[in-house]
């Protein structure tokens, strides 16, 4: 006698729920895999970028050393702003040479020059810039326990002055030095373009004209449109060298080093490094 088969109707719902669970697990694993892949790629890019910067800095330092060797071979040194193209391991590096007498010495510049620096290059309002200049002068004239003026030994010492804004320092940093130039005045023939704009009290056209004439090695350049009290004709044996290095990813980086040509009995090379960039500037096209 045949037995009747009774169906409970529960098989299909159970199978459907199992299928949904499998799909959810698959989707979750897929998302996890995608996230892990993206994370790995990001880490690889970061590692590659860090390696490029390390290698780029090494190339920049090598190029600066090559430039210093060339400068040491010149009897009279470099007396004006200059630029040289050097090659190291198949990479072309542009090295800019800035004598310190073309930079604004924040340790000896007069209040009027500091005010022009802070307002024209730093972006401060004129009245605020005047107050900041007076504050800097008062700060550098303070005496230490031995009775010596505190002064500003390095450009970043401006950040020790109470209330001095970091954003202003960041804007003016490429234009300043501390304690290495003569008399607090600036030699326009050695000055970068940004300093020329300060000397011209913000007149970009005047600064551009003087820069073009200087770079073309013209003789007897008319400097009468610059503020006379800011201008000097001193020379310097201290320099800022800025190397621009192309990177494999199409970007470029800049690295700077401040040096002073000064021989001592302990010296093996005719220059002394005053300061190197603790960080590099990366420029992307």
Range in 25-34, 105-114, 147-156, 171-180 with the lowest mean pLDDT: 25-34
Range in 26-40, 116-130, 160-174 with the lowest mean pLDDT: 26-40
Question: Do residues 75 and 97 both lie within one domain?
Answer: yes
Q: Is the pLDDT of residue 1 over 60?
A: no
Residue 41 counted as domain residue: no
Would you state the structure tokens that stand for residue 195, as one six-digit string? 């300093």
Residue 84 counted as domain residue: yes
Residue 171 counted as domain residue: yes
Question: Do residues 221 and 240 both lie within one domain?
Answer: no
Helices assigned H by DSSP within the chain: 11-72, 111-116, 126-141, 166-172, 193-199, 204-215
Spatial distance between the Cα atoms of 203 and 10, rounded to a whole number of angstroms: 88
Which of 195, 211, 230 is the C-terminal boundary of a domain?
230
Taking residues 103-117, what's their average pLDDT?
96
Backbone angles phi, psi at 54, to 5 degrees: -65, -45
Question: Do residues 71 and 143 both lie within one domain?
Answer: no
Residue 85 counted as domain residue: yes
* Residue 184 and residue 105 in contact, taking contact as beta carbons nearer than 8 Å: yes
Instruction: Express the helix, strand and coil content of the chain in percent, nearest 5 each.
Output: 45, 20, 35
Question: For the chain, what is the domain count?
Answer: 2
The residue segments making up the domain with residue 80 are 57-101+235-283
User: What size, in residues, is the chain?
Assistant: 285
Question: Do residues 251 and 278 both lie within one domain?
Answer: yes
Question: Do residues 189 and 132 both lie within one domain?
Answer: yes
Question: Do residues 254 and 154 both lie within one domain?
Answer: no
CB atoms within 10 A of CB 128: 16
Please give the mean pLDDT across all residues of the chain. 85
What are the pLDDT digits (tens) for 144-180? 888 788 888 889 999 999 999 999 999 999 999 997 6
Question: Do residues 109 and 135 both lie within one domain?
Answer: yes
Give the pLDDT of residue 33: 73
Would you state the structure tokens that stand for residue 45, as one six-digit string? 């890019």
Spatial distance between the Cα atoms of 170 and 147, rounded to a whole number of angstroms: 31
Residue 45 counted as domain residue: no
Question: Do residues 78 and 95 both lie within one domain?
Answer: yes
Question: Do residues 212 and 257 both lie within one domain?
Answer: no
Residue 20 counted as domain residue: no
Spatial distance between the Cα atoms of 108 and 179, rounded to a whole number of angstroms: 7
Spatial distance between the Cα atoms of 66 and 71, rounded to a whole number of angstroms: 9
Q: Is the pLDDT of residue 281 over 70?
A: no
Give the pLDDT of residue 157: 92
CA dihedral sign of residues 210, 106, 260, 148: positive
Question: Do residues 70 and 134 both lie within one domain?
Answer: no
Question: Do residues 129 and 189 both lie within one domain?
Answer: yes
Residue 23 counted as domain residue: no
Contacts of 26 (CB under 8 A, 6+ apart): none
* Residue 177 and residue 151 in contact, taking contact as beta carbons nearer than 8 Å: no
Choose between 253 and 127: higher pLDDT: 127
Question: Do residues 154 and 215 both lie within one domain?
Answer: yes
Choose between 6 and 197: higher pLDDT: 197
Residue 176 counted as domain residue: yes
- Give me the torsion for CA of 281, 104, 123, 135, rounded to 10°: 120
Do β-strands 281-283 and 252-260 pair in parallel, antiparallel, or remain unpaired?
A: antiparallel
DSSP, res 270: S
Range in 29-38, 52-61, 99-108 with the lowest mean pLDDT: 29-38
Taking residues 218-239, what's their average pLDDT?
92
The tally of CA atoms less than 13 A away on the side-chain side of residue 255 is 22
Q: Is the pLDDT of residue 68 over 60?
A: yes
What are the pLDDT digits (tens) for 230-252? 999 888 889 999 999 988 777 88
Give the model's confidence band at 11: pLDDT under 50 very low, under 70 low, under 90 confident, else very high: low
């Amino acid at each position: 006698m045949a037995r009747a088969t009774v169906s409970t109707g529960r098989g299909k719902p159970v199978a459907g729920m199992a299928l949904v669970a499998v799909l959810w697990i698959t989707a979750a694993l897929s998302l996890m895999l995608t996230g892990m892949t993206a994370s790995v790629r990001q880490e690889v890019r970061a590692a590659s970028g860090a390696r490029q910067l390390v290698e780029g800095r090494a190339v920049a330092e090598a190029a600066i050393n090559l430039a210093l060797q060339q400068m040491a071979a010149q009897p009279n040194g470099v007396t004006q702003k200059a630029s040289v193209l050097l090659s190291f391991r198949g990479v072309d590096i542009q090295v800019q040479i800035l004598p310190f007498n073309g930079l604004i010495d924040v340790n000896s510049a007069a209040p009027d020059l500091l005010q022009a620096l802070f307002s024209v290059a730093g972006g401060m309002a004129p009245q605020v810039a005047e107050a900041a200049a007076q504050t800097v002068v008062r700060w550098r004239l303070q005496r230490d326990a031995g009775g010596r003026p505190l002064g500003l030994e390095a450009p970043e010492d401006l950040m020790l002055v109470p209330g001095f804004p970091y954003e202003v320092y960041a804007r003016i940093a490429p234009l300043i030095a501390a304690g290495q130039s003569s008399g607090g005045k600036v030699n326009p023939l050695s000055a970068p373009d940004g300093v020329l704009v300060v000397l011209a009290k913000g007149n970009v056209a005047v600064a551009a004209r003087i820069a073009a004439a200087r770079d073309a090695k013209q003789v007897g350049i008319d400097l009468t449109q610059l503020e006379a009290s800011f201008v000097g004709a001193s020379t310097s044996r201290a320099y800022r060298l800025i190397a621009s290095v192309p990177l494999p990813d199409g970007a470029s980086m800049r690295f700077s080093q401040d040096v002073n040509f000064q021989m001592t009995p302990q010296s093996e090379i005719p220059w002394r490094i005053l300061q190197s960039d603790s960080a590099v500037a990366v420029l992307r096209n």
